[in-house]
Amino acid sequence: MSGKTSKLSAIIHCKCPHCRRGDIFTGSMYGWNIQHTKEICSYCGQRIEIEPGYFYAAMYVSYAMNVIEMLIVSFITYLIFGPLTDATFWHYLIAIFSGCFILYPFNYRYSRIILLHVLSPNIKYKPYYDK
């Protein structure tokens, strides 16, 4: 591969923040292959989990993502069923929990990617891997 890989492209495609070439996850986001976070990048050898328990911080990122998604789902439910009343309570509850369940694999993956690419000052991009 040649050419510079942008940070946004690396985030979207779940690539290593150090080289922007190696995959961070094994398996697909949705499907029968369970996704796992690799321990080291297969392209540059960067350790992905910098220290034990490093990805506990991803829970906070995932929480923020989940709150935003719940607000969006609630607003869409409001547009479809109207305001929250006793009659629409179950519509809201089912819609919000379904959204959380469906978006769980997305949140798992991208909370870790955001933590690695945006919130980790220890991992710096090395452009010499683009050569």
What are the pLDDT digits (tens) for 41-73?
999 999 998 888 888 999 999 999 999 999 999
Q: What is the pLDDT of residue 3?
A: 72
Distances, alpha carbon 3 to alpha carbons 23, 92, 105, 128, 130, in Å: 17, 47, 30, 10, 6
> pLDDT tens-digit profile of 3-41?
788 999 999 999 999 999 999 999 888 888 888 899 999
pLDDT exceeds 70 at position 2: no
Using only C-alpha atoms, the chain has a radius of gyration, in whole angstroms, of 18
In the predicted structure, residue 1 carries a pLDDT above the cut 50: no
Q: What is the pLDDT of residue 66?
A: 97
Structure tokens at 26: 């094994």
- Is pTM, for the whole model, over 0.75? yes
